[in-house]
Chain A
Amino acid sequence: MRKNKLVALALGAFALTSLTQCFTKKKDEGKHLYETHCQSCHMEDGSGLKGLIPPLAKADYLQTHRDELPCLIRQGMAGSIVVNGVEYNKEMPGVESLREDHITNLLNYIQTNFGNKNERYTMQEVERLMQACPKAP
């Protein structure tokens, strides 16, 4: 009897923590992921760094290369790109550990912050786009 009570208590506590997590952490997941994986280079305000690191804030690239972004986040990129008329050439490391739902939240955060008012992604869309990611050499 006493054991049952304990189990119930533990379950209750577990349910409560996971529930509160849904309302707090999950809601800000995109922001949290941005801070963890992107902010040190792209900066808090998405401004990048002069001619070294391209901005995300009001970047045309986010719209012109929208379909490639999910794969870029997972696989990274190298070589020359042009963002808002400026050429950049610095390798960006990918974050292979990110799942499709993470990438959706992260991209939606980027597309709707830093002065960006771009279309959001659905998770289905990100999943579809990621199936076509270029295979690693």
Chain B
Amino acid sequence: MNKRNKLSLKSGFAVAAFALVATSFYGCDSQGGSSANTLPIYGEREPVERTVDGKTVTDTIYHQIPDFAFVDQDSQRVTQETVAGKIYVTDFFFTTCPTICPKMKSQMLRVYEAYKENPDVLLLSHSIDPTHDTVAVLRDYADRLGIETQKWHLLTGDKDSIYDMAMQYLVPAQADGGAEGGFTHGGHFILMDGQRRIRGIYDGTKPESVDKLIDDIPLLLNEKKDEKK
């Protein structure tokens, strides 16, 4: 086999691998069984067997965001307790971001306005530049956005913990000296249910995608009501 063939074989493999990965991603999307009235549950899941009355029952353990502790624009601690039993939308940004963040924030404001009066819906925006984005900087940012802390928490804290959290929410984020503003990150809005499970992934820079998010939130609110019954 000459070199050229080898090369094309290699790229052929790469294409095949890519296609496989792509389909498996798509597979995940639809696999959640997102019918008209329910939202899928994203992330890895594992079956756990247990015995009930002598019979083996299989439970599915879904990906759940671990406990966390950050500080918001009012210097309040925000933890898993803050969001317990609530639906929340989360994203990653930084205040000096010159690229996608302003658009993300203008779209998040739409979500804010839509659910301002609903105490069961919260917004959490994590800064991926916590060294610069101190409580004072976030306070000023929040004031200029005209938002209320109790509804929309802008979070800062330990840098590694924030990046770990981004990974948990399946949002890419990293410091990158070569990028405009010094960081790269995904513009995703993640919709979370009351058990800290990922129920929706949206493009926070696209109004159509955020429309969908705003429409999807009532589905989770209904789910919550059903659980209470």
Contact = CB atoms under 8 A, between A and B. Distances in A.
B110 to A, nearest CB: 12
Interface string B157-199: 0000000000000000000000010000000000000000000
B145 to A, nearest CB: 5
A50 B144 CA distance: 7
Contacts of B100: 40
Nearest to B106: A49
A50 B105 CA distance: 10
A111 B96 CA distance: 26
Nearest to B105: A49
A interface residue count range (under 10 / 10 to 19 / 20 to 34 / 35 or more): 10 to 19
Contact of B96 (A43, A51, A91): A91
B208 interface: no
Contacts of B180: 93
A43 B102 CA distance: 8
Interface string B59-102: 00000000000000000000000000000000000001011101
Nearest to A53: B102
A50 B140 CA distance: 12
A43 B106 contact: yes
B103 interface: yes
Contact of B103 (A40, A51, A52, A88): A40
Contacts of A41: 98, 102
Contacts of A51: 143-146
A37 to B, nearest CB: 10
Nearest to A43: B106
B109 interface: yes
B141 interface: yes
B145 A43 contact: no
A52 B98 contact: no
6 closest residue pairs by CB, A with B: A51-B144, A41-B102, A52-B144, A49-B102, A50-B145, A49-B106
7 contacts: A41-B98, A50-B145, A51-B144, A51-B145, A52-B144, A91-B96, A93-B180
Given A41-B102, A43-B102, A49-B145, 9 more contacts: A40-B99, A43-B106, A49-B102, A49-B105, A51-B143, A51-B144, A52-B144, A53-B102, A91-B96
